[in-house]
Amino acid sequence: MTMRKDASLFVLVGGTALLTACIPIPAKHPEQITPTVVGTLSLDDGTPAVQYLIAATDESKDRTCSRPGGRGATDSAGRFQLPATSEEKKVFWFTLMENFGRRSYWVCARRAASGAPGARVDEAARTVVAGHVGGDSLDCLRWHWRDTTRLSCNAAPAYEHMALDLNWKQIIRGGSWTEGAVSGSYRVLLVPIEGWEAEARAAVQWVVDGPAGAQNAVRAQMALPTRDSVALWGASLDHVGDAWRVRVLSIRKTTWGNDIWLTFELGAPGELRGIREK
């Protein structure tokens, strides 16, 4: 009886390992490093980031995106395009786990003195992208926070059909505020935490809306007082009553393991207050 139980346990454990583990198969094959990427890059004031070098990498520790990956530069409208890149591998890792076409990678943006690849560059800013194997369209913003140059990007699939949408957004724009004769909109920014890319710190900017073609100055900028990090998905900016509220999901759980949603009401530049959810 004991032997039959042990055999059943062995089959169960072995079957579980087979379903979750990767199986190495000796076979030469091209393996994607980074997918095809198109997008735009803008600066804090809303103007296009002209003559910036854009690079992609599949290595989390590659802080400057210097490993092989897509390379490109922005044009006069801040647009860029990175080709898909791959390298030959000798071992194919077969897994039964489905990723639904998801492909994570990192993107770097830095200004080149001459706008040409290989030219002298300034500080590189980097962010992780929860992208797609078939390619992505990125909406990126290069900005500054806590004495550091930041890069935030929203990714949308370059193809129409997608099996899974996690709704990971690093930039949320919208709303409106007024202070005297000056008016503007809000920009909520979620900054991924290195090593824990599904978690982020959140900040909000009060952006002055200038006339068409003019720069949009950042009137104020504050970190959301969330205490803990927040999830890099599910955040929203909503109009409730006569005010605008930003809502984020805390990484911390209740004693019973339930989600904790944090809501903040936004006012004039520099004004925000926490709202206790019922």
Give pLDDT tens digits for 242-262. 999 999 999 999 889 899 999
Output the pLDDT for position 232.
Answer: 86
- What pLDDT, on the 0 to 100 scale, is given for residue 33? 84
pLDDT computed for residue 122 by the predictor = 60
Which whole number is the average pLDDT over 196-200? 82
Residue 12 confidence (pLDDT): 34
**pLDDT tens-place string over residues 55-78:** 999 988 898 899 888 999 999 999
- If one counts every other C-beta atom within 10 angstroms of the C-beta of residue 233, the result is 16
DSSP 122: -
Q: What is the pLDDT of residue 68?
A: 84
Asked if pLDDT for residue 20 goes beyond 50, the answer is no
pLDDT greater than 70 at residue 169:
yes
- Partners of residue 250 on adjacent β-strands: 230, 260
CATH number of this structure's domain 26-162, picked from the four choices 1.20.120, 2.60.40, 1.10.530, 3.40.50: 2.60.40
Is a pLDDT exceeding 70 seen at residue 237?
yes
Task: Please state which of the ranges 29-38, 41-50, 142-151 shows the lowest mean pLDDT.
Answer: 29-38
Q: Map out the domains of the chain as residue ranges.
A: 26-162, 167-278
Alpha-carbon span 202 to 171, nearest angstrom: 10
pLDDT value for 233: 85
Q: In terms of Cα–Cα distance, which of 109, 136, 105 is closest to 39? A: 136
Q: Please state, rounded to an integer, the average pLDDT across all residues of the chain.
A: 80
Q: How confident is the model at residue 220 (pLDDT cuts 50, 70, 90)?
A: very high
Residue 274 CA to residue 265 CA, distance in Å, equals 6
Q: Beta partners for 105? A: 129
12: left (phi over 0), alpha (psi -120 to 50) or beta: alpha
Model pLDDT, residue 116: 52
Would you state the pLDDT for residue 14? 40
More confident residue, 188 or 33: 188
9 falls in which pLDDT band (50, 70, 90)? very low
pLDDT confidence tier of residue 37, bands split at 50, 70 and 90: very high
**pLDDT above 50 (res 129):** yes
Q: Give helix then strand counts, H and E, for the chain.
A: 1, 19
Query: pTM above 0.75?
Result: yes
Average pLDDT over residues 216-236: 91
Edge-first strand order for the sheet with 136-145 is 79-82, 37-43, 136-145, 148-157
